A and B are shown apart, each in its own frame.
Chain A
Amino acid sequence: MTKTVNHVVTRPGRKHGDADVQIPVAEDLTTVPGIRQRDADVSFYSRTYPQETQNIEKAADRQWVWSVYSEETLKHRKRHDELNEPLVDAAAVSGDLEPTGTPTGEDITDAIRLKARELGFGEVGFTKFDRRYTYTGKKRWVKYEHAICLALEQDYVQTQSLPSMDAEFAHFGTYEIEGALLLDLADYIRSLGYHAQVHSPNDNSAPYIPMFVAAGLGQLGANGQLLSPHFGSRARIAMITTDALVTYDEPIDYGIHQFCQVCQVCVNRCPGRALLAEKVWWRGVEKNKLIYERCRPVMARYDGCAVCMKVCPIQRFGMPAVMEHYVATGEVLGKGTHLLEGYTFLERGYFGPGELPQFDRQFFEIPHGRNEEWLFQQFKEKLMNEGLPSEEEIVGFAKQVRSILVKGNSTIGDE
């Protein structure tokens, strides 16, 4: 059934130099630019329950994953961390570097956008750095108020092989390239006379997606990922904040907020049943909330999983084609087909439309919370099951707690 077009969004082409694209948004998919949110609630939750990075809040399972990685994943992950470390370290101190040029006093939005596109960033947008989202451990770190949101596309062909090591090479490899490109772009901004602070994709200062949405670079998908026009969630996102004179972009209604409710392919295909069909209000925002504890065990054991990325039609076919098809037919392109919905899960084999792998309850029992929280949890269980511990066990427990406290919490990781 043909749909009436409410509005057409024009966006730059996928790569620098490509022609602009047109995205028709059907009337029945039209909601609001960006995302439905209650501003007062966002402020309330940020003050009363400030967020912390998952690298700290979920440290226990982030440590656990190393124990279940395959040999190949383990080797690759270690290599990636070695390559990535200097990039993350450089980003951490980038805000302290002084400008190398003299500012002209002109708005440099276009100059930064052009340079970013030339470097290879597929999406570039400007907005205010919304401090309400800043992670607790980064509140004193963020120096400048203007956010440049930058998305680097991940290899198309490798991504379609998800879940696989080939796709993991693309995932981690994109971070390595992006880390270097961000430093180059920050250098460029300094050469124009302004400060630039790189917010690494592997040492996040905040959840970046809300600011990408505010900058009009996409909308939040039901899979919890930013769905941008050309590559959906097949991108790695990062930011640079600056004190340069720039002009903010506006949020856009691409129709995604409602499209995901019609589509639901990621929800139906998620091997861990971690995605929810209905939207809920969470910290002042209306969204499909992911159940982390059902996602993480699958991700860790099956090459990063990311089936939700693989089966998203926006990721696979791009937003223009998907929205054109919806307007022409009222259908979701690829839904119900082997092409879009099929995936192979290591030794478990192939799962076509309507088929999902089964996992028992034990599969989902993984360490949770911060490292010290998990340690206390285990200690409590031991007390309940085995009675009072020996002096040796108490001393051992105290040593472990001290080791965690001395080591401190690291914000670095793959969020």
Chain B
Amino acid sequence: MFEKAQIDALFGELDREWRGKPEFEKISREAHLGIALWDAGRPLEKIDSRAVALIEKHKPKG
């Protein structure tokens, strides 16, 4: 399961990279949904690839 530190790091990066750009809100929504699905062990195939990249980068190790 994503812990607070990993969630903060992911959304911190999302904020730095995308805030102010038109896609910011969409990627934010997708990141929330993607993390929830990842936590539940579900596939991320319908999630925006930019959000998936962030999830892959910040997901819990091991």
A residues with CB within 8 A of B:
155-157, 160, 313, 316-318, 321, 325, 328-329, 331, 333-334, 337-340, 342, 350, 352
Residues of A near B28 (CB, < 8 A) are: 156-157, 160
- The answer to whether A331 touches B40 (Cβ under 8 A) is yes
Cβ–Cβ < 8 Å partners of B39 in chain A? 334, 337, 339
Q: How far is the CA of A321 from the CA of B44 in the complex (A)?
A: 12
Contact indicator B3/A334 (Cβ below 8 Å): no
**Residues of chain A lying within 8 A (CB to CB) of residue B3:** 338
B25 within 8 A of partner (CB)? yes
Q: Tell yes or no: B32 within 8 A of A by CB.
A: yes
When distances are taken between beta carbons in the complex, the residues of chain A under 8 Å from B35 are 337, 339
Nearest to A353 among chain B residues (CB) is: B1
Chain B residues with Cβ below 8 Å from A342 are 4, 7
- B32 & A338 in contact (Cβ 8 Å cutoff): no
B29 located at the interface, meaning its Cβ lies under 8 Å from any Cβ of chain A in the complex: yes
Given contacts A156-B28, A328-B42, contact A333 B4 (CB under 8 A): no
Interface mask (B24-45 → A, CB under 8 Å = 1, otherwise 0): 1100110011011101101000
Interface 0/1 of B4-31, CB less than 8 Å to A: 1001000000000000000011001100
| Listed residue (B2, B32, B36, B39) with the most chain A CB atoms within 10 angstroms of its CB | B36
Residues of B within 8 A of A157 (CB): 24-25, 28
In contact, A339 and B36 (Cβ under 8 angstroms): yes
Cα–Cα distance between A352 and B29 once the two chains are bound (Å):
21
* A333–B29 CB distance below 8 A: no
Q: Is the interface of B mostly helix, strand, loop or mixed?
A: helix
Complex: chain B residue closest to A321, CB-CB = B33
Cβ A339 vs Cβ B7 within 8 A: yes
**Chain B residues, Cβ within 8 Å of A325:** 37, 40, 42
B interface, CB within 8 angstroms of A? 1-4, 7, 24-25, 28-29, 32-33, 35-37, 39-40, 42
Shortest C-beta distance, A202 to chain B (Å), equals 26
B10 CB to nearest A CB, Å:
10
| Number of residue pairs spanning A and B whose beta carbons lie under 8 angstroms apart | 51
Across chains A and B, which 10 residue pairs bring their CB atoms closest together, nearest first?
A334-B36, A337-B39, A339-B35, A317-B33, A157-B28, A338-B4, A333-B36, A156-B25, A337-B1, A339-B2
| Distance of B41 from chain A, by nearest CB (Å) | 9
Known: A334-B39, A338-B2. 14 other contacts (CB 8 A): A156-B28, A157-B24, A157-B25, A160-B28, A316-B36, A317-B33, A318-B33, A325-B40, A325-B42, A328-B42, A329-B42, A333-B37, A337-B39, A339-B32
Judge whether A352 and B4 touch: CB under 8 Å. Answer: yes
Q: Given the complex of chains A and B, what is the CA–CA distance between A318 and B36 in angstroms?
A: 12
Whether A337 contacts B32 by the Cβ 8 Å rule is no
Would you call A317 and B36 a contact (CB within 8 A)? yes
Cα–Cα distance between A328 and B42 once the two chains are bound (Å) = 10
**Which A residues are in CB contact (< 8 Å) with B37?**
325, 333
Q: How far is B28's CA from A155's CA once the two chains are assembled, in angstroms?
A: 11
Specify which chain A residues have a CB less than 8 angstroms from the CB of B32 in the assembled complex: 160, 316-317, 339
> B25 contacts A350, CB within 8 Å?
no
CB <8 Å contact, A329 and B36? no
The answer to whether B4 and A337 have CB atoms under 8 Å apart is: no
CB distance from B51 to the nearest CB of A (A): 13
Are A156 and B29 CB-contacts (below 8 A) given A338-B4, A352-B4? Answer: yes
**Chain B residues with CB under 8 A of A350:** 4
Contacts of A333 in B (CB 8 A): 36-37, 40
Cα-based distance from A334 to B36 in the complex (angstroms):
5
**Chain B: minimal CB distance from A255 (Å):** 18
List the A side residues contacting B33 at CB < 8 Å.
317-318, 321
Residue picked from A156, A339, A342, A352, most chain B C-beta under 10 Å:
A339
Q: How far is the CB of B56 from chain A (nearest CB, A)?
A: 16
A340 in contact with B42 given A157-B25, A350-B4, A352-B4 (CB within 8 Å): no
B2 and A337: CB pair below 8 A? Answer: yes
* Shortest Cβ gap from A28 to chain B (Å): 19
